Amino acid sequence: MIRLASSSITRAKLLHKAGIEFIQESVDFDEDSIIATDPKNFVYQATLGKYEANLKAFGYDDFPLLVADTVVTAKNQILRKAKCLDDARNILMTQSGSITSIITCMIYQSKKEKIIDISKTDYIFDKFDLDDLDRYLSSGEWRGKAGACMVEGFCQTYIKDVHGNESTAMGLNIEVLEKFI
C-alpha cells in the first residue's frame, strides 16, 4: 500500500490498472511560485515542492509516499494549466500540428529507498480540427490538465507518432515505478 499524494484521477487509474494498492490524499503546493524556463527544471521543482509539503504532512513511516507532477511543452514554451477557456484554446493551438513533449517527474519515498525519475514522451500531432477543438473546450475536460492536454482523450485522434511511455504522458511513469514496488 502506498500514499498517492496527488488529486489526479488519471494517476489513480494508472496505479489501479497496475494493481498497486494505494490511498489518495495530498496537501497543496503553489506551483505558481516556481520561476523556471527549462521544462525539466520546472517539473522537478514542482515535484520537489509537492514532495516536501506532503512529506511534512504525512511522512512515509506508515505508507510509502508517491508524488508527481507533469509539464507540457511545445514550440519552446512551457504550457501550464490553462486559467480560462481562451488560455486553453491558445495552449492547444500551440500543440496543433507540432511536436508536444510531456515531461513527468515522480518522487517515491519508502523506508528502504527514495526514487526520483524524470521521463519524457513526445507526441507528434496533426493539426486539430477547429470544430472538434471547440467541443473539447466546451466539455471543460481541459481544466486542471497540464497543457490542457488529454492524450487519452481529445488529443488521441490527432497523434501521428509517439516516442516514450503513454503512462508518462498521463502523469506517472508506471513502468519505472513498478520496478521498485
Give the residue numbers annotated as catalytic, written as ranges.
69
Contacts of residue 8, Cβ cutoff 8 Å, sequence gap at least 6: 68, 171, 172
Contacts of residue 93, Cβ cutoff 8 Å, sequence gap at least 6: 128, 133
Does residue 22 contact residue 4 with C-beta atoms inside 8 Å?
yes
Helices and strands, counts by H and E, the chain: 6, 7
Q: Name the packing angle between helices 130-139 and 85-95 (round to 10°).
A: 140
User: Measured between alpha carbons, how far is 114 from 116 in angstroms, rounded to an integer?
Assistant: 7
User: Measured between alpha carbons, how far is 159 from 162 in angstroms, rounded to an integer?
Assistant: 7
* Strand residue runs (E) in 76-113: 77-79, 99-109
Q: Which three cell numbers stand for residue 73?
A: 511543452
